[in-house]
């Protein structure tokens, strides 16, 4: 059985999903790929993982870096999991480019090269937004590009983290 909960953030509603023990999804309501890991059969629930996630979100939206991560269960392909694990290493208030993530992934896979576009696909399908910080990924040219929750939310999240937005440029959302 899968469970859901709702969180009201300063940037809009957020839906949480769990397998009963771990967080399996966290999406801004209505974002691209909303509910991608959520099975049709689910029900609202009050779970310890939802309480932990709400506490994490409260700390995050207060402008501070949470010092813990709720239990996560990444239901995805091995490649996407590798990319999402790299995203988890990006510190609060910092960013990485798709190219930097591609280089890191290539090294971990024993390859000489990895396509930044392949990384972009994995980043874009992140089912546990915010906690797995896909909003901290920038275009290789420094552009503020691609975020399933919308570029406006991405800019607000980076501003909340006090990232230097003056160094980024806006470009169209990539699919």
Tens-digit pLDDT profile for the chain (175 aa)?
A: 899 999 999 999 999 999 999 999 999 998 877 777 776 788 889 999 999 999 999 999 999 999 999 999 999 999 999 999 999 999 999 999 999 999 999 999 999 999 999 999 999 999 999 999 999 999 878 788 878 888 999 999 999 998 865 555 444 444 3
pTM of the model: 0.89
Torsion of CA 158, 75, 37, 61, to 10 degrees: -30
Q: Please give the positions annotated as active site.
A: 134
Q: Within a 13 Å sphere around the CA of 74, how many CA atoms are in the beta-carbon half?
A: 20
Question: Rounded to an integer, what distance in angstroms lies between the CA atom of residue 144 and that of residue 159?
Answer: 12
| Residue 64 CB contacts under 8 Å (≥ 6 apart), including other chains | none
Helices 98-108, 78-87: axis angle to 10 degrees equals: 120
């Amino acid at each position: 059985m899968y469970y859901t909960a709702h969180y009201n953030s300063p940037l809009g509603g957020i839906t949480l999903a769990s397998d009963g023990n771990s967080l399996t999804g966290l999406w801004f309501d209505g974002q691209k790929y909303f509910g991608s890991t959520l099975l049709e059969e689910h029900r609202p629930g009050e779970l310890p993982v939802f309480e932990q996630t709400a506490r994490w979100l409260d700390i995050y939206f207060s402008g501070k870096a949470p010092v813990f991560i709720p239990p996560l269960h990444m239901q995805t392909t091995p490649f996407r999991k590798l990319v999402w694990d790299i995203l988890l290493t990006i510190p609060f208030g910092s960013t990485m480019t798709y190219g930097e993530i591609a280089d890191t992934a290539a090294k971990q896979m024993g390859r000489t090269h990895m396509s930044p576009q392949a990384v972009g696909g994995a980043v874009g399908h992140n089912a546990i937004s915010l906690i797995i910080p896909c909003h901290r990924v920038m275009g290789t040219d420094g552009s503020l590009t691609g975020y399933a929750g919308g570029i406006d939310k991405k800019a607000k999240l980076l501003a909340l983290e006090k990232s230097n937005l003056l160094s980024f440029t806006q470009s169209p959302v990539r699919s």
